[in-house]
Amino acid sequence: MGKLEIFKEEDRLTAAAILVKNGYRVRQTRERAEGKRSYLYFLEYDKPKKSTGEEERE
């Protein structure tokens, strides 16, 4: 699974929309920044394996 660190929420939503439209599974996660009270935000993504009978998208 790939992982992108994207600070701004608007940018995360835009990137997630692009990935989803191209057939990727996407989830948003956050982790506590080391030694701080703030969070780091990530998009995790992967391309699911094609299931039997599924056609290639053009």
pLDDT digits (tens, 9 = 90+) for 12-43: 999 999 999 999 999 999 999 999 999 999 99
Quick one: pLDDT band at residue 1, thresholds 50, 70, 90? confident
pLDDT of residue 52 exceeding 60, the answer is no
The reply to whether 34 falls in a domain is yes
Tell me the residue range of the domain where 23 lies: 2-46
12 part of a folded domain: yes
Residue 51 belongs to some domain of the structure? no
Domain assignment present for residue 54? The answer is no
Q: Report which of residues 34 and 51 the model is more confident about.
A: 34
| Domains held by the chain: number | 1
* DSSP H helical ranges for the chain: 9-21
Considering the domain boundaries, does residue 58 fall inside one?
Answer: no
- pTM of structure: 0.75
